[in-house]
Amino acid sequence: MRWENELMGLADAMQAEMIACRRDLHHYPETGWTEYRTAAKAAARLQELGYVVQTGAETITKDCMMGVPQADVLRAAEKRAVEEGADAAWVAKMEGGRTGVVGTMHFGAGGPVVAIRFDMDCNDVTETDSAEHRPNQEGFASCHKGAMHACGHDGHTTVGLALAALLTRFKEELNGTVKLCFQPAEEGVRGAHAMVASGVVDDVDYMLGAHFGFKMKRTGSIACNVTDFLATSKYDARFTGVPAHAGAAPEQGKNALLAAACAALNLHAIARHSAGASRINVGRLDAGSGRNIIGDKALLCLETRGATSGINAYMEREAERVIKAAAMMYDTQVELQKVGGAAGGSNSPKLAAFLEREARALGIFDEVVGECPFGASEDFSYFMERVQSHGGEAAYMMVGANLAAGHHDSHFDFDEKALSHSLKMLGSCACKLLSQR
């Protein structure tokens, strides 16, 4: 087929365009649920290429959104996005933070439905002002204080848009349907659940996801069978008590600070599960208002993890029990809010084996890793779980890239050669899957 002869050359020819796109997105980073500029530009480009574009309520189920910023923050982000070049009509469709975008293209009859996920959001990180940092040297560092693409999602979105263009070049010889899913709020594992709940991948036969770096920290390497995603849940527990003078009337107070401290200690005492890895962590505790005041308020931020969704559910239940018991012990009130989560799971073996064969056949990777335990959480697992539960196959890859610093570090940057490697890998795999009848 023509794509087998032309795809690599076309991908190479798109490298300069991809670098420019990545640097534009890096310069204008947007945190979870505020990706109005990024999403609007993706939607506009997909429509220009002939894709059927869905966004807003069509791609995000409002009741399933987790960790959404306050309404005034969302409105300010909408306004800023338009000022920075986003099409106001697309932004209006994403009202309320529903910034998911799906581009669908139908090819010849009889083929499978192939979906590929690309995350768009940045981190809550202020980019370094170091003169040695390449984005500073070349003028594309973040212009938004407290926001930075420190995980490579600017590159992921760039590859997704390049892939969209690449596939249109071979439209006449492909079969089936492709769905390119641009996901908000991956950081904090907040966005995939709401996107999956909208039903956009319920008809998918093959689902792919990829990420730069992580365990593949060298350009030219790739891991094709990522296993052992840890399920996770993120919660905020807000304790409310009654303030009182600590010297004159301590008996009149209800100590939310002590309730939260009691909960923090006992959360870490939850019995671990015998069926697999289980984790819990209290990462933040803010409480009280003054040295001589009985603490009347406290915020406890925690997460649970499990080797499977079932083990994580056990940790969630135990955590809720401990938190409510601690609140009761100190006669305080507590409100639990789930602000993020991801499912457990592993790649579909048959699809992972296919990816490994393709990676080796391309000849662009000098290290192809088979099974690679992830040992962490990524909300692509919600896509994976949904597709697999409907009889499809799903797989996640790590595309190697030389990194200037670790993920979520203010000095993060990645080797832009990895853009081409990712495009060639995803393009080749998508075309081969879409060549089936």
Q: Do both 212 and 246 map to the same domain?
A: no
Tally of domains in the chain: 2
Describe the crossing of helices 2-13 and 417-433 by its angle, rounded to 10 degrees.
160
| Separation of first and last alpha carbons in the chain | 14
Q: Do both 348 and 314 map to the same domain?
A: no
The rounded distance, in Å, linking the Cα atoms of 115 and 176 is 11
Six-digit token string for 411: 């000095």
Residue pair 336/310 in contact by the 8 Å Cβ criterion: no
437: pLDDT strictly greater than 90: no
Q: What does pTM read for this prediction? A: 0.93
Q: Give residue-wise pLDDT tens across range 129-154.
A: 999 999 999 999 999 999 999 999 99
The rounded distance, in Å, linking the Cα atoms of 39 and 354 is 31
> Where does a domain end: 320, 340, 360?
340
Q: Do both 148 and 40 map to the same domain?
A: yes
Q: How far is CA 149 from CA 99, 152, 185, 410, in A?
A: 17, 6, 13, 9
Residue type, 276: G
Q: Give residue-wise pLDDT tens across range 188-228.
A: 999 999 999 999 999 999 999 999 999 999 999 999 999 88
> Where does a domain end: 284, 314, 340?
340
Q: Do both 323 and 426 map to the same domain?
A: no
Which among 193, 142, 156 is positioned nearest to 29, based on CA atoms?
142
> Where does a domain end: 340, 366, 386?
340
Six-digit token string for 243: 């303030």
pLDDT band at 375 (very low <50, low <70, confident <90, very high): confident
- Per cent of the chain over pLDDT 70 is 100
72: pLDDT strictly greater than 80: yes
